[in-house]
Chains A and B, each alone.
Chain A
């Protein structure tokens, strides 16, 4: 019995030195689902909006590669858009930030900015994917939200990191600019 207790104590001691790792999920889909559940909203896929001829100031025609695309790896861009819905509910920034950080295991939260005055939130997460990086940007304002995920080369990500404040805007514009 003493040996058993001793063995368990040793295992416990050794385990306390080992970092716990968890499997990565599909960050993009998880975040879209979290926004839907947290704010009780529904997302639209950009292609659907484009097919339906919906056009707003920030909406988009093409998402998967185009003439003006400068940063993202071709075909890697994923966008979900939440248009004209209420993002003021449910505790706002603090609760949402904690939920998202808990959800995105394996991603590094690079920058998280919130302006309660303007009702705006921006989150940027990065995940090392070998020769490239997965970057996810979540922007939420009072009535609209975007989730953008794309693959970036280390060089392009480095360029963006010179000014992290502008990074979210640049990536979202990159993913949603009309190529016309």
Chain B
């Protein structure tokens, strides 16, 4: 039988196919979500925050926490293993400045099988919060949080092995908002919220 790799043209086509295939698979399991499509909202927002802490910055940031204080040890340990924290938020003067399609541009990335929604709450007054985890095997490799109310959108994306028990320690640090959600046990803690 004639081997596919025997002719140079077919070999080249095979390489292109493999490279593209690897890229598609890698992006499906990439816990880093894209929020660039929200950037257009900045021109309508009264407050805009865009925070990018990549892996090298995370390792650097971990040095800021003391190895003696028990609370700081927890944060240091958590931060040491993370590969990135990305926060983007927009605040608007009035309601109606963003549309569902803006949120959908983020949600659509979280709809693939690698992501699992672990928490969802919404109310007309306070808006909604959705939390998604990416899990490969037993390991959590990423977290995405989408919070919105009529005058605000916040997207938080944490990349790396996330320990849900310790995650609340990050709230209020590195631009991560205070979530008031027990992510390690979301249903029980938030049973008063609409699921």
Interface residues in A120-172 by Cβ distance below 8 A to B read 126, 128, 133, 154-155, 157-159, 161-165
Residues on B close to A: CB < 8 A? 7-9, 11-13, 15-16, 19, 23, 39-40, 42-43, 45-54, 56-57, 60-65, 93, 173-175
Given contacts A16-B19, A111-B175, A154-B63, contact A10 B51 (CB under 8 A): no
> Is A114 on the interface with B (CB-CB < 8 A)?
yes
- A97's nearest neighbour on chain B, judged by CB, is B42
Instruction: Pick out which of these stretches binds chain B: A1-9, A30-38, A44-52, A53-61.
Output: A1-9
Interface of A: prevailing SS: helix
What's the least CB distance linking A1 to chain B, in Å? 10
A94 touches B39 (CB 8 A): yes
Chain B residue contacts of A89, Cβ below 8 A = none
A-B contact pairs, 8 of them (CB 8 A): A2-B8, A10-B15, A12-B16, A112-B49, A112-B51, A158-B61, A161-B53, A161-B64
A residues whose Cβ falls under 8 Å from a Cβ of B? 2-3, 5-7, 9-10, 12-14, 16-17, 91-94, 97, 108-117, 126, 128, 133, 154-155, 157-159, 161-165
Decide if B45 touches A116 in the complex (CB within 8 Å): yes
Q: Which residue of A lies closest to B40 (CB)?
A: A94
Nearest-neighbour CB distance to chain B for A114, whole angstroms, equals: 5
Contacts known (A13-B16, A162-B61, A162-B64); A6 close to B9, Cβ less than 8 A: yes
With contacts A114-B48, A116-B46, A117-B46 taken as known, whether A13 is within 8 angstroms of B12 at the C-beta atoms is yes
Cβ of B49 and Cβ of A113 under 8 Å apart? yes
| Cβ–Cβ contact B52 & A109, under 8 A | yes
Residues of A within 8 A of B47 (CB): 113-117
* Inter-chain contact A128/B19, CB cutoff 8 Å: no
Q: Which of A6, A94, A158, A164 counts the most B-chain CB atoms under 10 A from its CB?
A: A164
20 new A-B contacts, CB < 8 A, other than A154-B63, A162-B61, are: A3-B8, A6-B11, A10-B12, A13-B15, A16-B23, A92-B43, A94-B43, A108-B54, A108-B56, A111-B51, A111-B52, A111-B175, A112-B51, A114-B48, A126-B57, A158-B63, A159-B64, A161-B61, A162-B64, A164-B51
Cα A7 to Cα B11 in complex, Å, equals 10
Contacts of A3 in B (CB 8 A): 8
CB–CB A10/B52 < 8 A: no
With a CB–CB cut-off of 8 A, which chain A residues contact B9? 2, 5-6, 9
